[in-house]
Structure 1
Amino acid sequence: MAVLVGRRALMQAFHVQAAGRNSSARLATVLPCFRHSWKVSGGHGAVTRPYSSDSKDDLRVRYLDGEDSGIVVVGMNRPKAKNAISRNLVKMMFDAVEDIKKNNKVRSVIFCSLVPGIFCAGADLKERAKMQQSEVGAFVSKARALITELGNLPVPTIAAIDGAALGGGLEMALACDIRIASNTAKMGLVETKLAIIPGAGGTQRLPRVIGVSLAKELIFAARVVDGTEACRLGLVSHSVEQNNSADAAYLRALELAREINPQGPIAIRMAKLAINQGIEVDLSTGLAIEEACYAQVIPTKDRLEGLAAFKEKRRPHYKGE
């Protein structure tokens, strides 16, 4: 059964192939997350506009171009609410995820914050307090579905944590493939302080990342750790020293996305699918899933291009075909 599920997911993922021009060189300068104009989520024709705190700008999505083509940066932008997860933010993130899923040129996605010192403070408790009790469950289900969708994106996802990632904010980061934090960032699933539990995947994803015993300790105690400790625990892959512009984690995430960009896009998608499907089953079933994924890359033009480039001692030019 697990193999059949894996194969169905595999075929769905394979039909959405990545494409786009290969990045032949790295840009000499970086594009700080707080410094450029951002396209408002909800349509590729939207105009760019400067930093603001209007609700329509709660989320900004930027499709990088030039040699960074294929990298998408999704920036949360609710400065007054510390990027707390509201109905509007959930809706805009759903729209952004749908746009990304439909774009076969996307190679990787960086989730970050446009608000210095904050990644995401979790649920918008001020908005939550105004909800009827019957509305709370529906909203939590919607937020949980959003974070599941983030985890199901077929391309690599990187959370750049340059500030506090608490509750639902950390759950959002946990749904990403890779997490990078500044050493001053603060992270924790703190829901038990409010007499509730993590409701958007935290009780399931955190144990898978750092182990059951440590996850229980952090959740039971509602403990908050900094970036350095999070790296030691394995909660994040890298902890970097924060800089004066408060975007050190974002810049490191951008470097990593640039490392991923030149690789075979179909191969990256198949590798992600094989890992995600395989980690949930026994080794024998996981090896069968890997075999099925490998079979999908054999007939691709990219595989032949890779062999030709190796033979000719040149950089391959993959097209996602």
Structure 2
Amino acid sequence: MSTVLVQINDHIATVTINKPEVLNALSTEVLADLNQALDEVEKVENIYAVILPGAGGKSFVAGADISEMKDMDAKQAAQYAKFADKIFFRIEDFHCPVIAAVNGFALGGGCELAMACDIRIASETARFAQPEAGLGITPGFGGTQRLARLIGAGRAKELIYTGRHVKADEAFSIGLVNKVTKPEDLMAETVAMAQVICQKAPFAIKKAKAAINRGLQVSIDKAVAVETEEFAQCFATEDQKMGMNAFVKKEKVEKFYNR
């Protein structure tokens, strides 16, 4: 993988988009490397959180690679979008939480990549946009769907129709990001949140993520049934027995064992 770096530290994997010379634009090569990086992370036992930043400080991901896209026909464009969608769905459905650490530009495909993550932490320099209409296209990597689900259809339509940039403070106020930090604190704050997640029961976090993601796709009565299914599975784990027994005894669980 020449464009994506993977680092493992305890139970946290950091997967960095590493093409700062082109502001980490999502070419086919970068997407393929990102997919391979997810393969590598999945091979490591007991990874409980993934952090996804962009290298270089100026940009998380500035968008898809326009020079690669400009001469595509409709069939090629559909194949390209489906290739990216498969990887973004993989991030959305990954076995543990994925946290986007957004520095600088998150435009087009970069905003879409961030939205595929469970949580988004942005530095004060972050700028979000879906500017595709100014290039004669729609968002193609899930932007029309995830943005509307995150911030509501009215706001999503405004941002997609106008292509305007959203600064970090506004992104926070409309629910596009979970937290805003100073640029120099971005990674430390993101790691700190990942560490808190890692202290919880990993199987329970996995099941909560599945319940939320699955439930959003169905009616409320079916969603509650999904929740019951995921909830019940936790009661077959050692971590549940340990956690609840410790609570009753007024003791603290020092470590969950993901079993």
- Do both share a fold (TM > 0.5)? yes
Specify the alignment match of 1:31 in structure 2: none
Asked if 1:222 is matched to 2:177, the reply is no
Residues 193, 222 of structure 1: 8 Å contact kept: yes
Residues 305, 317 of structure 1: 8 Å contact kept: no
Specify the alignment match of 2:183 in structure 1: 242
Shift of 1:143: 1.3
Matches within 5 A, 1:279-318: 279-310=216-247, 311=249, 313-318=251-256
Shift of 1:292: 0.5
Asked if 1:146 is matched to 2:146, the reply is no
Specify the alignment match of 2:208 in structure 1: 271
Q: How far, CA to CA, are the matches of 1:205 and 1:249 in structure 2?
A: 24
Deviations 1:98-126 (A, max 9, x none): 23334341101110012111100111112
Matches within 5 A, 1:16-31: none
- Distance change >3 Å, CA 209–CA 133, structure 1 → 2: closer
Specify the alignment match of 1:166 in structure 2: 107
Normalised TM-score (structure 2):
0.94
Specify the alignment match of 2:22 in structure 1: 81
Specify the alignment match of 1:188 in structure 2: 129
Shift of 1:186: 0.6
Q: How far, CA to CA, are the matches of 1:274 and 1:61 in structure 2?
A: 28
Secondary structure of the structure 2 residue equivalent to 1:266: helix
Q: How far, CA to CA, are the matches of 2:244 and 2:77 in structure 1?
A: 54
Q: How far, CA to CA, are the matches of 1:135 and 1:212 in structure 2?
A: 29
Which stretch has the larger CA shift, 134-143 or 193-202? 134-143
Shift of 1:250: 2.3
Matches within 5 A, 1:2-81: 41=1, 56=2, 58-64=3-9, 69-81=10-22
Q: How far, CA to CA, are the matches of 2:256 and 2:132 in structure 1?
A: 45
| Higher relative contact order, chain-length normalized (CA < 8 Å, sep 6+) | 1
Specify the alignment match of 1:209 in structure 2: 150
Specify the alignment match of 1:319 in structure 2: 257
Q: AA paired with 1:278?
A: G
Deviations 1:115-158 (A, max 9, x none): 11110011111233465765333222211221111111121111
Among 198, 223, 226, the alignment partner of 1:261 is 198
Q: How far, CA to CA, are the matches of 2:18 and 2:114 in structure 1?
A: 16
Secondary structure of the structure 1 residue equivalent to 2:183: coil
Which stretch has the larger CA shift, 188-197 or 283-292? 283-292
Residues 172, 180 of structure 2: 8 Å contact kept: yes
Q: Identity of aligned pairs, percent?
A: 35
Asked if 1:176 is matched to 2:114, the reply is no
Q: AA paired with 1:110?
A: I
Specify the alignment match of 2:96 in structure 1: 155
Q: AA paired with 2:214?
A: Q
Normalised TM-score (structure 1):
0.77
Q: How far, CA to CA, are the matches of 1:92 and 1:120 in structure 2?
A: 14
Deviations 1:21-79 (A, max 9, x none): xxxxxxxxxxxxxxxxxxxx5xxxxxxxxxxxxxx2x1001111xxxx11111111102
Among 92, 109, 128, the alignment partner of 2:69 is 128
Shift of 1:312: 5.6
Residues 186, 227 of structure 1: 8 Å contact kept: yes
- Structure 2's unaligned 5+ residue stretches are none
Q: How far, CA to CA, are the matches of 2:84 and 2:16 in structure 1?
A: 17
Asked if 1:252 is matched to 2:189, the reply is yes
- Distance change >3 Å, CA 89–CA 71, structure 1 → 2: same
